[in-house]
Amino acid sequence: MEPSVSVIIVTYNKKKVLQSCIESVLNISYSNYKIVVVDNNSTDGTASMVNSHFPSVVLLETSQNLGYTGGNNVGIHYALEKLQSDYILILNDDMDVDPSFLNELVAASETDPKIGITSPRLFFFEKPDSLYTKYGNYNFYLGVGYTPLINIRKPEEVNLIPGACILIKKSVIQKIGLMDTKFFLYFDEADLCHRVRVAGYKILHVPSAKTYHKVSYSFSGRVNPSVLYYSTRNELLFARKHLNPLFFVLWIPRFGFRLFNYLAKYRNIILARAMLKGFYDFTTNSYGQAVLPKSFVTLNKSGKI
């Protein structure tokens, strides 16, 4: 019998892409799975849509926005306690998946008890021939990757995978614990990967498993004040938790270069303010969901300010 898998999808006010994501998962060839949607207190009718269109889906509603980490923890806890799942699949709500992707991930995971996490190929939905490349084997001190995923042609061990789709064994979660809610969102996958490896497990990239990310629906793309804020703050939080002080010596000039680059390229002070606020909140131990100025989340349709 196939191992049981709980597919955890955390969502917040993205009803349209969530519906597409669920429909995509319901068309997979793997049979022993259950979809669990965690609605982070959406106000766009998400819960009603799930209940009316997908009666087989478990819907968990939170009373506030718990972020990606907190929302996933709600779903993971339910999956382990109520569904007794062998595996947890953490899946972004703006993803579509290939019908065989879960078969490929589970099969790879089952080859070795020391494999804790498997991750698929992650393509851009809008450009399905374009692949996420910054993950793979990554040097956190220098902020550079040295084995990008695009160079991996068969299942291979790596140290960092995208958080948009992660298959993790129940036994691993029981050993390392749930996601760290201090991150709220961004860099949570780096934290999870590091803890998995410290616990003695492997992280495997499985290129035969294919998924497609509608990245433009999440904060309207990467160049975004909110993304820059959380990425800056949480990179430093990750370093404080897992790296030695040498990181901060190497990080300061890199931070200065990023700051100058964003100012020179986009000519907008809001991007710089977002990065500086991320740095300030790190120094004051202000983690979790941040109260950000409205200017940080006011974007036009191109995703730029």
Query: pLDDT of 230-253, one tens digit each?
Result: 999 999 999 999 999 999 999 999
Amino acid at 4: S
CA atoms of 73 and 138, how far apart (whole Å): 26
Mean pLDDT of 59-82: 97
Q: 301 falls in which pLDDT band (50, 70, 90)?
A: very low
Q: Determine the distance from the C-alpha atom of residue 48 to the mean position of all C-alpha atoms in its chain, rounded to a whole number.
A: 25
For 198, the token pair is: 């410290």
What is the mean predicted confidence (pLDDT) over 181-188?
95
| Domains, the chain, with CATH or none | 5-217 (3.90.550.10), 225-296 (no CATH)
- Rounded to an integer, what distance in angstroms lies between the CA atom of residue 169 and that of residue 241? 23
Assigned token pair, 194: 């590091």
Output DSSP code: residue 191.
H
- pLDDT at position 287: 97
- Please give the pLDDT value at position 124: 85
Residue 303, pLDDT above cutoff 50: no
If you average pLDDT over every residue of the chain, what do you get? Answer: 91
Pairing of strands 115-124, 202-213: parallel
**Residue 131 or residue 56, greater confidence:** 56
Q: How much is the pLDDT for 222? A: 52
**Within its chain, how far is the Cα of 55 from the centroid?**
26
User: Closest by alpha carbon to 184, among 110, 60, 45, 282?
Assistant: 282
Is the pLDDT at 197 greater than 60? The verdict is yes
Q: What pLDDT score was predicted for residue 40?
A: 96
Residues in contact with 110: Cβ distance below 8 Å, sequence separation at least 6, in sequence order:
3
How far apart (Å, rounded) are the C-alpha atoms in residues 268 and 301? 17
CA atoms of 151 and 108, how far apart (whole Å): 18
Q: Note the pTM of the prediction, 2 decimals.
A: 0.92
- If one counts every other C-beta atom within 10 angstroms of the C-beta of residue 112, the result is 13
> What is the per-residue pLDDT for 206?
97
pLDDT at 12 over 50: yes
SS3 assignment, position 211: strand
Rounded distance between C-alpha atoms, residue 259 and residue 237, angstroms: 19
- Cα 128 from Cα 140, distance rounded (Å): 28
What is the model's pLDDT at position 216? Answer: 56
* Chain centroid offset of residue 180 CA: 13
Residue type, 299: L
Under 8 Å between Cβ of 120 and 103: no
CA quadruple 91, 274, 43, 183: dihedral positive or negative? positive
